[in-house]
Amino acid sequence: MLIQNKQIAIIGGGPGGLTLAKLLQLKGSNVKVYERDVDKDARVQGSPLDMHEESGSAALRKANLFDEFTKNALIGADKKIVVNKNAEICFSDHEAQSAEAQNNTPIRLEISRGVLRKILLESLQPETVVWNSHYVSMEKQNEGWLMHFKNGSSAYADIVVAADGANSRIRPYITNTRAFYSGITMVEINVYDAEKATPHIYALLNGGKVMAFGNSKCILGGQKGNGDLGFYLSFKADENRVATNGLDYSDKAQLLTWFKKEYAEWSSTWYELFENSAAPFIPRPIYCMPLDQTWETLPNLTMLGDAAHVMPPFAGEGANTAMLDALELSEYLTSGRYNTLQEAISAYEINMRKRAAMAAQASLANGERMHSAGALEKMLAVFGRK
């Protein structure tokens, strides 16, 4: 096996990095995950993840974790409604999902990010994850890399895998290609104890998700599995608009005034999000890697997930794609089909870039549809209700 007696370092303990660590350990590999979080409880977890059968679920099956996933899945969390700017329901699949549950037919399963992370962490060998390891830099040493961390520690690895997200510090060692701005900006809003904080919107969601469209803008939201809600205001804007518009994103009253102007003609129902949510709000310009990106493969360094192919979130492929990357990379490295590590990594990267480009293209197209004139009618057509 090409990675026999090799020390593998994975930078980043998200779904992709942890999945890769588990799959490599099942093959008997020596692997460490270096994570910037101080410990397993440090991260604030986002909205639930919908595990797709051909990607996230496939990786969990290969990692022998699918049964644990189904035990902890949020049944019905994927049910959705589509509403207009007045919060009037135009489409709902709640009844259909209830019928699926009663008939024991397959249901689209979601899981809280924190729970998925816990499952992956607990499946790893003791001390696999090195916490409080904020990667700073690395340099070539022997046939591998000597990595340095913010806490002053250093570590050597024969092979390094970047799983450190959209702002990867390792990616520049592989390629200078940068992401481009998609033209869309999102503002993240988190609501704690939502049943009390935002009772009208909580009731509207009824345990599922909402997609609201009007005036070429969106509001997208859903439950997190613990009674909290996560929402995104989504709209087209200049790339630097959120940094130069003078808004104080910790001032809820100021943001509500901004919303009333930018989302003119939208119902006052949505005001709850500003009056009773947690501050600060988080502006997020949305980026995408060029669909034709390429680079020269290195023999001891590669990447997966957002580090390799950050894309807009309008097709729900982020974590799923990262976990499929992990599955495929583990198989390329351990299959015995290649004579050298460089050949194995090259084959993985060629296929990974092709897959990612297709997913990004679909996500860009969906983003344009969701922020276009007549978006509500177009999205209703997507869901089969004209």
Alpha helices in the chain (DSSP H): 15-26, 56-62, 66-71, 94-102, 113-123, 194-197, 199-205, 241-244, 252-262, 272-275, 306-309, 318-334, 341-370, 375-382
Question: Distance between alpha carbon 176 and the CA centroid of its chain, in Å?
Answer: 23
Measured in degrees and rounded to the nearest 5, phi and psi for residue 149 equal -125, 160
Strand pairing category for 80-84 and 180-191 = unpaired
With the C-alpha atoms ordered 238, 239, 242, 243, is the resulting torsion angle positive or negative? negative
| 43 labeled binding residue | yes
| 113 labeled binding residue | yes
| 385 labeled binding residue | no
Burial (Cβ within 10 Å: 0-12, 13-18, ≥19) of residue 24: buried
| 248 labeled binding residue | no
Burial (Cβ within 10 Å: 0-12, 13-18, ≥19) of residue 285: middle
Strand pairing category for 129-130 and 30-34 = parallel
Structure tokens at 61: 């099956």
Query: Annotated binding site for NADPH: which residue ranges?
Result: 43
Query: Annotated binding site for FAD: which residue ranges?
Result: 50, 113, 306
Query: Annotated binding site: which residue ranges?
Result: 43, 50, 113, 306
